[in-house]
Amino acid sequence: MNLGNLESLPFFCPELILVGAILLVVISDITLKGLRNIANPLLTMTALVMALYYTIQTEHGSAGQLFEGMLALDTFGQYFKIFLLISSLLIILVSLHSSELSSIHQGEFFALLLAVTLGMVLMANSINLVMLYLSLELVSLTSYVMVGYLRNDRLSNEASMKYILFGAVSTGSMLYGFSLLYGITGSLNLFEIREALIIQGDLGINQLTLLLIVVLSIAGFGFKTAAVPFHFWCPDVYTGAPTPVTAFLSVAPKAAGFAILVRFFFGGLSQMTQAEGGLLTGVDWALVLVIISVITMSWGNIAALTQNNLKRMLAYSSIAHAGYILMGCVVLTETGLKAILVYLFVYLFMNLGAFLVVTIVFNSERTFQVQDYNGMFRRSPFLAIAMSIFMLSLIGIPPFSGFLGKLYIFGAVIDQGLFWFAVIGALNAAVAAFYYMRVMKHMILENDDGEKSPLQMSYLNQALIVLLLIPNVFLIVYWSHIDRWATSSIKLFNGL
């Protein structure tokens, strides 16, 4: 089902709502100077809720294409729309009581967040190489500004500059790879590219050119997912950016990056069936991703062991989790796709929860150092217990939801006989336990100087902590619902 421009509009309502909201927030910020601090976040949250409502209400009778093959219309894309809109909603709530953002004018922040959300939604549904590149650039350009939002902070400015430089190199490399792919196939649509590769497969294709295309394309996807060796920006950017922005970058753009990575390799460079798939060419891109996955999870976990700055530690942790998610990307089966969706869903709540605690502590103590978390259990038992649950969930210890994510990922690779791959993942999870439990040790076992007052937090932040704790603690009890949602989300994946 390939819909034209006018026929596509009813399915494009969430994106249109985001576009309208961006304009309204900008106008509100200029005209309602006395009320803009209330109107801007209210308009932003209303738009995200409305877009989420229309996304959930959209029914998919069959997979299709919108705007003459520019965007996919399928349940896989619907899953990521819901995921990304929820992520942006949570970040808005986290940012409302962040001391880093409260000291400066926030009007542009909400417009930028809506713009980057729009870009991510388009990116996750792109099946045309030009659309993919444009949406990725929309995400990147707005992210650069958000990272450097603290204009008077040297670290924030430095982080933004590094982010721009690494982004320019990686996306430029990806664009060159796309140009080569267009040159050998004569098409920009992923499915037409797949058909062209099938036809040319019997005639023989230059394997060196295809390998170069794969490597250059992975540069762009690796930049968004913070996979090694495209991760160098990540620690410095996460450290210098405002903490709510760091939390956002660690979850939402990463998820959108994995969505388009799956669409590109599964939809364009693989011959998929309802159960499993195979490579179209002699270039084993899955093996390339296996190597990147192993190096990414190992590098992230080992580097995190020596970090004393909690934001920097969570940055390396985010790199390691990208390696785990890549394990599902190399398995050309429905099980692998489902594992990616389940892992991203549980990662959203455990990682945002950890960053929310970091934000709350910084509001009170103005520090990100692990040593300054000494005695937190005495000063704020609720916060210390919440952070411990988020840490245990990130490790993957049952009964917390992080265990569910790792179970699906490891199970997917074991089903394909890649036992050694699962063993490496399990060993990395054991290494990760050291630096996560180190934070718990400082909070619970170490004593502070005894002069610090109890940590203060707003009622909104308390409610958010509880909201993020619920899925971490109880999701594993209702795992069948998540399993069914993930299964239904790949049934109409526009690549099978």
pLDDT for 423 equals: 94
Judge whether 95 lies within some domain: yes
CA dist 429 → 21, 79, 340 (Å): 41, 27, 17
pLDDT for 282 equals: 61
Neighbouring residues of 212: CB distance < 8 A, sequence distance ≥ 6: 177, 180
Judge whether 105 lies within some domain: yes
Domain of 10, in residue numbers: 5-491
d(CA 388, CA 384): 6
Element (H, E) at 76: helix 75-96
Judge whether 70 lies within some domain: yes
Tally of CB atoms within 10 A around 183:
10
Neighbouring residues of 132: CB distance < 8 A, sequence distance ≥ 6: 123, 126, 178, 260, 264
Judge whether 496 lies within some domain: no
pLDDT for 451 equals: 67
Report the number of distinct structural domains present in the chain: 1
Tokens (6 digits) for 18: 């985001």
Tally of CB atoms within 10 A around 96:
18
The burial class, CB within 10 Å (0-12 / 13-18 / 19+), for 53 is middle
The burial class, CB within 10 Å (0-12 / 13-18 / 19+), for 354 is buried
The burial class, CB within 10 Å (0-12 / 13-18 / 19+), for 306 is exposed
Task: Provide the whole-model pTM.
Answer: 0.94
Tokens (6 digits) for 391: 């840490």
Task: Check: CB of residue 439 under 8 Å from CB of residue 370.
Answer: yes
pLDDT by 10s per residue, the chain, length 496: 788 888 889 899 999 999 999 999 999 988 887 788 888 999 999 999 999 999 998 877 667 889 988 998 889 999 999 999 999 999 999 998 888 887 677 778 999 999 999 999 999 999 999 999 999 999 999 999 999 888 888 888 899 999 999 999 999 999 999 999 999 888 899 888 888 887 766 555 677 888 888 889 999 999 999 998 888 899 999 999 999 999 999 999 999 999 999 999 887 777 654 444 455 556 678 888 999 999 999 999 999 999 999 999 999 999 999 999 999 988 877 888 999 999 999 999 999 999 999 999 998 888 899 998 998 898 889 999 999 999 999 999 988 999 999 999 999 999 988 999 999 999 999 999 999 999 999 999 888 766 677 778 889 999 999 999 999 998 888 888 888 999 888 876 655 4
Task: Check: CB of residue 235 under 8 Å from CB of residue 315.
Answer: yes
**DSSP per residue, 409-452:** HHHHHHHTT-HHHHHHHHHHHHHHHHHHHHHHHHHHTS---S-P
* Residue among 333, 284, 322 nearest 300 (CA): 322
